[in-house]
């Protein structure tokens, strides 16, 4: 039987941004005059519907305020009927003070072979799988202090859609007034994962992030840190090396005319640092700092003149002609 064993891990978590994100979705139903209709009576129903959705994404393990509870199932011994209704009693010792916004779920499964056992984990500490992790929110969060016991249960009830309805019932031990209950539909999840790196929870930094950033730049050298122009590394005293990385897709060619970057101003030249004849002070690729007309003509031996008459043998780009000229029927006239 593969997998041979399954461990379902459950942990209380704190995530203010996720809770507010789901809550704010119902703000549309606060309107009292939407094309003359009062929608406010539907807001509570909308809130319940949004909080019935399990959140499918990944997260930083440090949002968990207590060690996960493990519920194990031996698939080599369990009957099918044992999985129709799974009731899991919970008890969490809170490791830090915070708001319990819900429970996070993930699983580990074991494949017991003849010579070794292989584990597949969907833990947030492991490489991400297509199962991700699942978080179930409480509509009414619970405030817990470090050292308190969070008790309750989770009931997984199989439904007719080959899935489960999940009911969470939690409270702080000895404080029945903190009890919070919510039922979620696993068949109607909210796929929240966007591919972005997981963000650490607030307060996870042990040093000043700002100071750490500047210290890292100091290690690279004070000169390099100062000589940065819009994120482009600078060589020497303000000389930008751009030949290798120049993108010419936004240039409009005009025979041997200078490169033109539409809608910009021209830039000045500089001495070429690479090998080659001459002491050119400008190159076409290097003159696009800030855009503008690249003054290649300063170093180019070609001369440029206006062509009057038939242009069949002269590939002039008509889109770059100034307003003093028109080109009907391929003939160039002075206006």
Nearest to 288 by CA among 240, 254, 256: 240
DSSP class of 241: -
DSSP class of 195: S
pLDDT in tens, 32-44: 999 999 999 999 9
What is the C-alpha to C-alpha distance for residues 47 and 4, in angstroms, rounded to an integer? 40
Domains of the chain with CATH codes: 5-191 (2.70.160.11), 205-240 (no CATH)
pLDDT in tens, 111-158: 999 999 999 999 999 999 999 999 999 999 999 999 999 999 999 999
Judge if pTM exceeds 0.85.
no
Match 């979620």 to its residue by tokens. 184
Judging by beta carbons within 10 Å of its beta carbon (0-12, 13-18, 19+), is residue 69 exposed, middle or buried? middle
Strand partners, 326: 333
pLDDT surpasses 50 at 269 = no
Judging by beta carbons within 10 Å of its beta carbon (0-12, 13-18, 19+), is residue 281 exposed, middle or buried? middle
Rounded-to-10 torsion of CA 192, 195, 200, 205: -160
DSSP E strands: which ranges in the chain? 5-13, 55-57, 69-74, 85-93, 98-112, 117-121, 133-144, 149-158, 164-172, 175-185, 190-191, 228-229, 232-235, 239-240, 260-261, 292-293, 309-310, 325-326, 331-334
Rounded-to-10 torsion of CA 271, 272, 274, 277: -100
HSE-up of residue 298 (Cα within 13 Å, Cβ side)? 17
Alpha-carbon torsion (54, 55, 61, 65), positive or negative: negative
pLDDT in tens, 70-102: 999 999 999 999 999 999 999 999 999 999 999
């Amino acid at each position: 039987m593969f997998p041979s064993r399954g461990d379902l891990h459950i942990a209380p978590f704190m995530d203010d941004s996720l809770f507010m994100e789901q809550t704010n979705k119902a703000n549309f139903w606060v309107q009292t005059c939407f094309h003359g209709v009062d929608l406010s009576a539907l807001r509570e129903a909308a809130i319940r519907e949004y909080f019935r959705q399990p959140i499918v994404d990944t997260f930083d393990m440090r949002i968990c305020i207590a060690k996960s509870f493990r519920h194990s199932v031996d698939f080599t011994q369990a009957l099918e009927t044992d999985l129709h209704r799974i009731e899991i009693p919970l008890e969490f010792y809170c490791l830090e003070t915070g708001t319990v916004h819900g429970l996070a779920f993930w699983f580990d499964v074991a494949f017991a072979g003849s010579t070794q056992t292989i584990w597949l984990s969907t833990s947030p500490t492991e490489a991400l799988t297509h199962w991700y992790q699942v978080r179930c929110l409480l509509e009414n969060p619970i405030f817990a202090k470090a050292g308190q016991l969070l008790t309750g249960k989770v009931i997984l009830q199989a439904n007719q859609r080959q899935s489960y309805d999940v009911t969470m019932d939690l409270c702080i031990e000895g404080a029945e007034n903190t009890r919070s209950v919510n039922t979620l539909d696993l068949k109607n999840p909210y796929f929240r994962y966007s591919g972005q790196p997981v963000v650490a929870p607030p307060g996870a930094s042990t040093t000043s992030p700002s100071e750490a950033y500047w210290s890292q730049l100091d290690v690279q050298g004070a000169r390099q840190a100062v000589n940065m122009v819009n994120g482009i590394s600078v060589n020497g005293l303000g000389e930008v090396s751009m030949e290798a990385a120049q993108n010419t897709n936004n240039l409009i060619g005009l025979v041997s005319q200078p490169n033109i970057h539409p809608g910009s101003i021209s830039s000045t030249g500089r001495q070429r640092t690479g090998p080659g004849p001459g002491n050119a002070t400008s190159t076409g690729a290097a003159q696009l700092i800030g855009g503008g007309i690249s003054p290649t003509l300063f170093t180019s031996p070609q001369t440029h003149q206006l062509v009057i008459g038939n242009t069949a043998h002269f590939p002039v780009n008509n889109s770059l002609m100034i307003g003093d000229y028109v080109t009907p029927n391929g003939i160039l006239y002075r206006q």
